[in-house]
């Protein structure tokens, strides 16, 4: 437990004003990306998923991965660079190490150590190290850390959408074998390239777009039924379907993307 933290002597008002303006502009950019790029692709993926049309669903998934990773990077910039620095400046908090160069991660373990420094340090201090002091093995301690993180990720989606499906939970749990796999490949191949490729593929192609489509499908199905699912998926939907899609965009898409990215 840490009692004292580095503090700043004063607030930098000009820098704070700049960050606030950038935050507002980034929010507008994210809203534009969601409505213009993410939602149409999510909408067109509903029926292929519902009808288990594997070929069409794979095509929709790959198409969604491109705008999804762009949205994810903008979300990362908004939360970890702008929002946390704004809070740090308002509270005159001196330690601004919120993230490191996670994009160069050679393994999934490196990514989770570099992506969210405050949460990573909190997990180490409150969960991992106490378990190690009680002579719990390293792997069981890591598994419990990922389990707690998986529960928090699932709650980040389940609470705003008012439904519990477990996609985010199992997505986080599946990180454990990927961490072991990328660590093994790094040791055997003596190279960081393959591990970095697995990291980007698992997050940007298979991970986040998959969770996004699954939650969107389940949300529409739970609130609108099969008939509403067909209407929302149809090209050139009427006013009622458009309103429903807009509601889903506001309540679902942003929260799901944030949760699968690990930002909230």
DSSP assignment of 206-260, as one string? IIHHHHHHHHHHHHHHHHHHHHHHHHHHSTT--HHHHHHHHHHIIIIIHHHHHHH
Residues 6 or more apart in contact with residue 107 via CB below 8 angstroms: 179, 182, 183, 186, 195, 199
Residues 6 or more apart in contact with residue 34 via CB below 8 angstroms: 71, 249, 253, 254
Backbone phi, then psi, for 4, in 5-degree steps?
Answer: -115, 135
CA distance from start to end of the chain? 23
Burial label for 239, CB within 10 Å (0-12, 13-18, 19+), is exposed
Residues 6 or more apart in contact with residue 85 via CB below 8 angstroms: 19, 96, 98
Active site residue 120: no
The rounded distance, in Å, linking the Cα atoms of 225 and 46 is 12
* Active site (catalytic) residues: 153
């Amino acid at each position: 437990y840490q009692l004292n933290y580095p503090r700043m002597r004063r607030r930098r008002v000009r820098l704070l004003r700049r960050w606030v303006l950038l935050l507002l502009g980034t929010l507008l950019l994210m809203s534009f990306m969601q409505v213009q790029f993410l939602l149409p692709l999510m909408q067109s993926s509903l029926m292929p998923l519902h009808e288990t049309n594997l070929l069409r669903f794979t095509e929709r998934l790959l198409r969604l991965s491109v705008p999804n990773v762009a949205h994810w990077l903008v979300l990362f910039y908004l939360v970890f660079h702008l929002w946390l620095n704004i809070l740090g400046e308002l509270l005159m908090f001196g330690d601004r190490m919120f993230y490191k160069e996670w994009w160069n991660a050679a393994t999934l373990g490196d990514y989770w150590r570099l992506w969210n420094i405050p949460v990573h340090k909190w997990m180490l201090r409150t969960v991992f190290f106490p378990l190690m002091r009680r002579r719990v093995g390293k792997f069981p301690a890591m598994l419990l850390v990922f389990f707690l993180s998986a529960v928090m990720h699932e709650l980040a989606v389940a609470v705003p959408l008012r439904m519990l499906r477990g996609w985010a939970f199992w997505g986080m749990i599946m990180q454990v074998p990927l961490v072991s796999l990328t660590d093994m490949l790094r040791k055997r191949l003596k190279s960081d390239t393959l591990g970095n490729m697995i990291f980007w593929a698992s997050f940007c192609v298979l991970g986040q777009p998959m969770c996004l489509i699954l939650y969107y499908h389940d949300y529409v199905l739970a609130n609108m039924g099969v008939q509403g699912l067909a209407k929302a998926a149809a090209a050139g939907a009427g006013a009622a379907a458009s309103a429903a899609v807009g509601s889903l965009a506001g309540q679902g898409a942003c929260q799901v993307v944030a949760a699968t990215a690990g930002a909230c």
